[in-house]
Amino acid sequence: MEFVIITGMSGAGKTSALHILEDIGYYCVDNIPASLLTTFYTLCSKSDDEMMKHVAVVVDVRGNENYTKMNQEIEEFKLAHNNVKILYLDAKSDVLIIRYKETRRKHPLAERLKDGTVAEAVQLEKELLMPVKKLADYNIDTTYMSNKQLRERVMSVFMEDTSQSLTLTFMSFGFKYGIPLEADLITDVRCLPNPFYIPELKYLTGNDKAVRDYVLKSEDTQEFLRLTLNLLDFSVPLYLKEGKSELVVGIGCTGGKHRSVTIARQLREHFYQKGYKCVIQHRDINK
């Protein structure tokens, strides 16, 4: 049985992630108290129903009044079952505040703060959930994600063969839009030849062969790739040895369209050929 706990910040997309998992065959339950995790897990594990082979639940501040106890119960539950994975959804505070203002929904911690603002509620929630965030196997920051990108990311992690214990996610991005908070490693490729200044390449992306050829024909690019791959070839097995479930490698250029996309594709292809489970995401390619 595969058991996924979805948790994280209110407004970061937990419900959307749950719906995505439901679409690919998971039996899903929203807003379950942490104290019921063991009981629910036992019921699912004893069931003969095929639907119970893949289960996902949302556990967050809505269904738990004692947040210290909630974090402790999640940690103990995860330690007791090696088939439990935690997916943590997060976003920048200012984005979460805007989302709440747009929907005019009440923040789950509003009652606890009484006269507190949404900003104060968001900050409090971040502090309360920090222990469980550190336990997460997968961290997804939805600050700059569209619903389509979130769907692709969740499906790529949970829909493929789970026999490979480490998922390598190569995420291209533009520094002008901010560094992806979920990235474990950041590679800055702004030092490489920039197709943006070539008129016939400016409005293309790294998914176009002409752009890739321009970037990759440089000797500097080839040496950069060689050294970067040497580092990753050395470090990825160490992350695997430490039991990490997902390693997110951010590859950034100025706008996230040309160089970062090109290098992300090269890194992904290298590790795919080596037999790793690989995911690629181009965060800012359409901006």
Which of residues 158, 189, 219 is at a domain's end?
Answer: 158
| Structural domain total, the chain | 2
d(CA 95, CA 78): 30
Q: Are residues 12 and 81 in the same domain?
A: yes
For 151, list phi and psi in degrees, rounded to 5.
-60, -45
- Assess if residue 191 is contained within a domain: yes
pLDDT confidence tier of residue 133, bands split at 50, 70 and 90: very high
pLDDT confidence tier of residue 162, bands split at 50, 70 and 90: very low
Whether the pTM exceeds 0.85: the reply is: no
Q: Which among 173, 210, 175, 216 is positioned nearest to 193, based on CA atoms?
A: 216
Q: Are residues 251 and 274 in the same domain?
A: yes
At 105 the pLDDT is 75
d(CA 147, CA 151): 6
Range of the domain at 217: 167-282
d(CA 180, CA 121): 23
Percentage above 90 pLDDT, the chain: 70
Longest CA–CA separation in the chain, Å: 63
Q: Are residues 129 and 196 in the same domain?
A: no
- Inter-helix orientation angle 259-273/219-241, to 10°: 50
pLDDT confidence tier of residue 160, bands split at 50, 70 and 90: low
Q: Are residues 107 and 198 in the same domain?
A: no
- Assess if residue 287 is contained within a domain: no
Are 220 and 193 a contacting pair, CB within 8 Å? yes
Give the residue-averaged pLDDT of 175-186. Answer: 94
Mean pLDDT of the residues in the chain: 91
Q: Are residues 46 and 128 in the same domain?
A: yes
